[in-house]
Amino acid sequence: MSVISIPTQGPSVEQVLAAYELARERYADLGVDTEQALSALAGISLSLHCWQGDDVAGFEAPDAGLGGGIAVTGNYPGKARSAEELRADLDMAYSLIPGNHRLNLHAIYAETDGRRVERDEVQPEHFSAWVEWARANGHGLDFNPTLFSHALAETGFTLSHRDSGIRQYWIGHCIACRSIGEHFGRELGTPSVTNIWIPDGSKDTPVDRAAPRRRLMDALDEIFAVPVDPQHNLDAVESKLFGLGSESYVVGSHEFYMGYAIRNGILVTLDSGHFHPTESIADKLSSVLMYVPNLALHISRGVRWDSDHVVTLTDETQAMVREVVTGGYLDRVHIGLDFFDGSINRIAAWVVGARNVLRAALVALLEPTDQLRRLEHEGDYSSRLALFEEAKGLPWQAVWDYFCLQHEVPVGMRFMDDIWRYEAQALAQRGS
Ligand code: RNT
Ligand code: ZN
């Protein structure tokens, strides 16, 4: 099935060490301590989204097909068909990403032995294999109720549906999910971020924009009225600008959730695909963090629209991650990934995306921020611009290679060798 398996080239250990030494000196001249940057980088834990591994399918029986106005394109063979396969694929991905990272689960990844379990009846026990696996591998778990891919979500409305029975069903689901998040947090000793995203909205211009928002607010109030220990579970709400089928109106807009999160002291989730294309999330962090205790990021890459492409090392990725790092927000921002590409090897998608976020973090950690701040303080904007541009060309990749070596993951593109080997051994057996 695999197209190529020519071993990729990469630097030798000696080359990595020699390049690192030169880079270390170069950074030291600018007052930047590479060792400090490396240990800060090792402390960053990304939440990997389980849904990249199977095109947001989940294991619910019967499978309702992907709904909610999100779409995965591509039919690359070998996607995970069971929780065991998904965990094996994740193990492979984590083994190629330096550091210790989390997993972000969705409710449709419950393991119910093929039995149909209603979403409002999902229990911690349906995730016991995930918890055991997470514990054994040192992963924290985050969670999401799934308010799409379901008959009761087909009208495009869930928590804001005008039918109170349908609303109650989804309220019940979200309440069930918050206690699963709390269970994850308690079992694993690290709080779970339980993020609510709903697809609610309409294709064409609505007459009444307020009523669904009032219903959503009341539904959220009902969900959050149930006490859940914030030591173990952190509630988050994720806004959106538009979706397929909700082009004209989205109930849970940015303003809606900003207000809601501020009033209730919960987290806001900012997804990089959920804003106008020229709007920068980087600039939002310091504003939002004035008013909410913590926030979550869904780092994604929209190409022309909210297309959920694999994260690359774009200016936008760098600017966003830089703001988290140099703003001193690492302990207040939960960094997660959210993209789904079914057109390439799905493990490569995870690994490339996650490594890029970490590389962006390293670039930020190596920035001569003190000097830049001084220049800004002195009003020397010419030198500030010059130093910003100079910093882009500094040898951060040598430090990254050294970081990979330290953490015993492949240096450079050699991780693709492992992925091709895994594709030939494991993925090929799955058929297409
Ligand atoms: C959809 C949101 C949401 C989903 C996941 C699967 O636009 O970004 O976060 O991608 O819940
Ligand atoms: Zn998202």
Q: What is the pLDDT averaged over residues 73-89? A: 97
163 is catalytic: no
CA distance 352 to 344: 11
Identify the nearest ligand to the CA of 144 by its number: 1
**Predicted confidence (pLDDT) per residue in 360-373, tens digit:** 999 999 999 999 99
Collapsing DSSP to helix, strand or coil, 395 comes out as coil
Q: Which of 139, 284, 298, 309 is catalytic?
A: 298
Beta carbons within 10 angstroms of residue 326's beta carbon: 15
240 is catalytic: yes
CA distance 357 to 193: 19
120 is catalytic: no
Nearest alpha carbon, ligand 1 atom 10 = 338
**pLDDT at residue 2 is higher than 60:** no
To test the ligand 1 pocket, which listed residue (47, 193, 197) has its Cβ within 8 A of the most ligand atoms? 197
CA–centroid distance, 425 to ligand 2, in Å, is: 32
Question: Which residues lie with the beta carbon below 6 Å from any ligand 1 atom?
Answer: 51, 56, 70, 144, 197, 238, 240, 271, 298, 338
274 is catalytic: yes
**pLDDT at residue 9 is higher than 90:** no
Nearest alpha carbon, ligand 1 atom 1 = 70
CA–centroid distance, 258 to ligand 2, in Å, is: 16
CA–centroid distance, 215 to ligand 1, in Å, is: 21
308 is catalytic: yes
Residues of the chain with pLDDT > 90, as a percent, come to 96
CA–centroid distance, 322 to ligand 2, in Å, is: 20
Q: What is the pLDDT averaged over residues 121-132? A: 98
Contacting residues for 411 by C-beta, under 8 A, at least 6 apart: 10, 11, 16, 401, 404, 405
Amino acid 62: pLDDT: 87
CA–centroid distance, 269 to ligand 2, in Å, is: 8
**Predicted confidence (pLDDT) per residue in 227-267, tens digit:** 999 999 999 999 999 999 999 999 999 999 999 999 999 99
CA–centroid distance, 338 to ligand 1, in Å, is: 7
CA–centroid distance, 296 to ligand 2, in Å, is: 10
User: pLDDT class for 7, splitting at 50, 70, 90?
Assistant: low
Nearest alpha carbon, ligand 1 atom 9 = 197
Collapsing DSSP to helix, strand or coil, 280 comes out as coil
Q: Which of 308, 316, 323, 367 is catalytic?
A: 308
CA–centroid distance, 238 to ligand 2, in Å, is: 7
Amino acid 1: pLDDT: 46
CA distance 106 to 181: 11
**Predicted confidence (pLDDT) per residue in 297-322, tens digit:** 999 999 999 999 999 999 999 999 99
| Structural contact between residues 66 and 149, judged by C-beta atoms closer than 8 angstroms | yes
Measured on CA atoms in the order 394, 396, 402, 405, is the torsion positive or negative? negative
What would the DSSP string read from start to end of 203-228?
A: SS--S-SHHHHHHHHHHHHHHHTS--
Q: Which of 274, 284, 309, 334 is catalytic?
A: 274
Q: What is the pLDDT averaged over residues 67-75? A: 95
Atom of ligand 1 nearest to the CA of 300: 8
Q: Which of 235, 238, 316, 423 is catalytic?
A: 238
Amino acid 5: pLDDT: 57
Atom of ligand 1 nearest to the CA of 306: 7
User: pLDDT class for 60, splitting at 50, 70, 90?
Assistant: very high
298 is catalytic: yes
Q: What are the structural domains, with CATH classification, of the chain?
A: 1-32+367-432 (no CATH), 45-89+99-365 (3.20.20.150)
To test the ligand 1 pocket, which listed residue (238, 239, 253) has its Cβ within 8 A of the most ligand atoms? 238
**pLDDT at residue 31 is higher than 80:** yes
106 is catalytic: no
Atom of ligand 1 nearest to the CA of 269: 9
Q: Which of 173, 232, 240, 284 is catalytic?
A: 240
Element (H, E) at 193: strand 192-196
Atom of ligand 1 nearest to the CA of 340: 10
**Predicted confidence (pLDDT) per residue in 332-344, tens digit:** 999 999 999 999 9
CA distance 391 to 385: 10
126 is catalytic: no
Measured on CA atoms in the order 232, 138, 334, 214, is the torsion positive or negative? negative
Nearest alpha carbon, ligand 1 atom 7 = 70
**pLDDT at residue 43 is higher than 70:** yes
Q: What is the pLDDT averaged over residues 9-21? A: 94
The number of C-alpha atoms within 13 Å of 66 and in the hemisphere containing its C-beta is: 13
Amino acid 4: pLDDT: 52
Identify the nearest ligand to the CA of 106 by its number: 1
